[in-house]
Chain A
């Protein structure tokens, strides 16, 4: 057939190095590009917070060793400047959320695994996929670059509340970079939804989709509908900064003793509403892919079907829908009418129910399983209680009465880091061990994997558990000098515990990184399907060639047919005819 094809054929784009590894349209290469880039950003974001944690543990003391290497404008004599401290905090949040976790959970895992799990040869729009990555990378680089531009990086928190953000230096580049990153995510979201709906193998009905695919689908829908409002909001803030409008600025503001010369008439609260309208769905964007990963690993590691497949999927969809009407629980203290805050209180309590349902189903899936304590399974098992702590500590923040006390304290920081670090990151690490054989045809070393696991799990708790205690003692977040307030002194030793745990956590990542690099270059080839898994990604070679499957797979059953009675083995793959 001589029909011209607009999308490059998979077999055509294997020629040069540039086509193959740089401007590739193959979802697997793009997935790995996302993987390595987002890991880089996670390390950068982590490095920033490790610096910041020095100031929290030993306020005003010069940073040992590296302190002298930092520029004078950041840390004269190795002592962190307050402005630099604020930049570190704001950029840590921004980088971790938008450049680390989302690209890792969606861009890397979603891109690589989702098309395989639905038996597709590639994403629906391979070139658009490449474009998403090539917007993400420059957007991220621009964000990093802002540290060395005049004015420095943004320093108004990842939330960029107006009017502070509008008068603070560094914000313009933050906004420009955000617009680029958001656009990248939007293109990705369209691609994921179309791929999931349209590129499924024969016989793969919606009811037979792996939970991971469902999680990615709901995530993509959230990104598609929640990101545009933030994009609009960012454009308005950009207008305020460069065109002198005052969308978020009331008249009569006095900044640094001088009255601000703007027309006024704007509303600072408007920004908060628009921001959180995105940012609450965003937290589900951060957690849903991880729930999907954990479900896959648990089914595989217990050798039995997931308990409550339908309930989990229904809960995820319900979470997705509800997440659009809870945003103002972040703003209980902004002076809104109690009637309004009651509404958001109720919706917040409602949305916690499906999250608990998912977790309960996952825990119940363990019952009666012959659990294999492999490294990915250890991470998934740790996810359950740790994410549980993260979720349950959120309830007091959703109840107006308790939130009045807890708002803006370290309790909040502890809560969402339990969700996003001991939840999401733990799951993503487990996913890396689980799918590494798929990516490279080689298995990560199990012994070092277990060392990595125990070190990581313990250190993470060492960092974030003290924050609950500090928060309850009234320590506020975003403080440059925690000893400046008398009531903080009693819990100051906990800051040292937290900081030392953070630095130890870094040390425990070294075996992980070495393990990855060593295995890629020196590891031995493993079996094609080392975990004896049932889902479609294992129905092709590891790593899969261009076009993935030798011939289009056909699906005969649901995703988790483990230990089926009377079956020859304890796993019956989806694509094997009965």
Chain B
């Protein structure tokens, strides 16, 4: 096929820094995500400091449900790590089990969140109600979108594994999916105390 003298194709090029392209790319992407959420947290702090009064999170929000969700997400991070470990061990059935669990836990998080939102709407609390609910819905909503994105990528990994289990980039992609999933988890770990407990 290719003549030996041909220049390497992008995926064959040996990374100059020694870090695979995908990994470097994911870390850079996460850096921009950090800036995105940092902006939202800053906005939250600025608005709250300037507000004459601010409701205590635990009085208006559902702390038990949010605690449950925290457990769900942390567990899903563990299963994600296990999925990666299984991929490295080349244990195919184990990988499917763990990635499946991660996806299911992601969905569980969203379902709980939907109940929380539903109850708020039921009581007439909308983003437009006041600045507290504006912050609450916007921040958790954007985080929810990230959860959906993460579930999407994990589903892609599960499907991709069927044909590409032996692909040289496969294990790397599982790792990148994991990095992203942990990031989504970490954002929640800031959101939970920030919104519900303070």
User: Chain B: how many interface residues by the 8 Å CB criterion?
Assistant: 48
Contact in complex: A270, B43 (CB < 8 Å): yes
Q: Cα distance A7–B51 when bound, in Å?
A: 51
Q: Give B163's nearest chain A residue, CB to CB.
A: A4
Contact in complex: B128, A197 (CB < 8 Å): no
Q: Give B36's nearest chain A residue, CB to CB.
A: A228
Please give the distance in Å from A436's CB to the nearest CB on chain B. 24
For chain A residues 130-180, which have a beta carbon within 8 Å of chain B? none
Please give the distance in Å from A260's CB to the nearest CB on chain B. 12
Contact in complex: A552, B21 (CB < 8 Å): no
Contact in complex: B40, A232 (CB < 8 Å): yes
Contact in complex: A224, B47 (CB < 8 Å): no
Please give the distance in Å from A541's CB to the nearest CB on chain B. 12
Stretch at the interface among A34-42, A62-70, A261-269: A261-269
For chain B residues 23-58, which have a beta carbon within 8 Å of chain A? 24-25, 28-29, 31-33, 35-40, 43, 46-47, 50-51
What A residues does B16 contact at CB under 8 A?
197-200, 204
What A residues does B29 contact at CB under 8 A?
186, 190
Contact in complex: B13, A120 (CB < 8 Å): yes
A3 close to chain B: CB less than 8 A: yes
What A residues does B12 contact at CB under 8 A?
5
Contact among B6, B28, B47, B142 for A265, CB-based, below 8 A: B47
Q: Cα distance A190–B35 when bound, in Å?
A: 14
Q: Cα distance A266–B131 when bound, in Å?
A: 7
Q: Cα distance A4–B160 when bound, in Å?
A: 13
Q: Cα distance A270–B40 when bound, in Å?
A: 11
Contact in complex: A229, B10 (CB < 8 Å): no
B124 close to chain A: CB less than 8 A: no
Q: Cα distance A4–B35 when bound, in Å?
A: 36
B127 close to chain A: CB less than 8 A: yes
Contact in complex: B142, A547 (CB < 8 Å): no
B167 close to chain A: CB less than 8 A: yes
Q: Cα distance A243–B137 when bound, in Å?
A: 10
What B residues does A198 contact at CB under 8 A?
13, 15-17, 19, 21, 24
A357 close to chain B: CB less than 8 A: no
A231 close to chain B: CB less than 8 A: yes
Q: Cα distance A226–B1 when bound, in Å?
A: 44
- How many contacts between A and B, using CB within 8 angstroms? 154
Contact in complex: B164, A4 (CB < 8 Å): yes
Please give the distance in Å from B160's CB to the nearest CB on chain A. 9
Contact in complex: B32, A121 (CB < 8 Å): no
Q: Cα distance A262–B131 when bound, in Å?
A: 10
What B residues does A199 contact at CB under 8 A?
10, 13, 15-16, 21
Known contacts A228-B33, A229-B36, A233-B39; is-contact A121 B130 (Cβ 8 Å): no
Contact in complex: B24, A197 (CB < 8 Å): yes
Q: Give A9's nearest chain B residue, CB to CB.
A: B9
A246 close to chain B: CB less than 8 A: yes
Q: Cα distance A1–B7 when bound, in Å?
A: 15
Q: Cα distance A407–B50 when bound, in Å?
A: 27
Known contacts A4-B164, A233-B39; is-contact A124 B10 (Cβ 8 Å): yes
Q: Give A12's nearest chain B residue, CB to CB.
A: B9
B115 close to chain A: CB less than 8 A: no
Known contacts A194-B24, A267-B50; is-contact A186 B9 (Cβ 8 Å): no
A10 close to chain B: CB less than 8 A: yes
Question: Chain A 225-253, CB within 8 Å of chain B: the 1/0 string?
Answer: 11111011101100100011111000000
Contact in complex: A232, B36 (CB < 8 Å): yes
Report, nearest first, the 4 A-B pairs whose CB atoms are least far apart: A244-B128, A265-B131, A245-B134, A228-B36
A-B contact pairs, 17 of them (CB 8 A): A7-B9, A121-B7, A126-B10, A128-B25, A191-B25, A199-B16, A228-B32, A228-B39, A229-B35, A229-B39, A235-B142, A244-B127, A266-B134, A267-B46, A267-B47, A547-B7, A549-B7
- A228-B39, A551-B7 known, 20 other contacts, Cβ within 8 Å: A6-B169, A7-B9, A11-B2, A123-B10, A190-B32, A199-B10, A199-B13, A226-B35, A228-B32, A229-B38, A231-B36, A232-B36, A239-B138, A245-B138, A246-B131, A263-B130, A263-B131, A274-B39, A274-B43, A549-B7
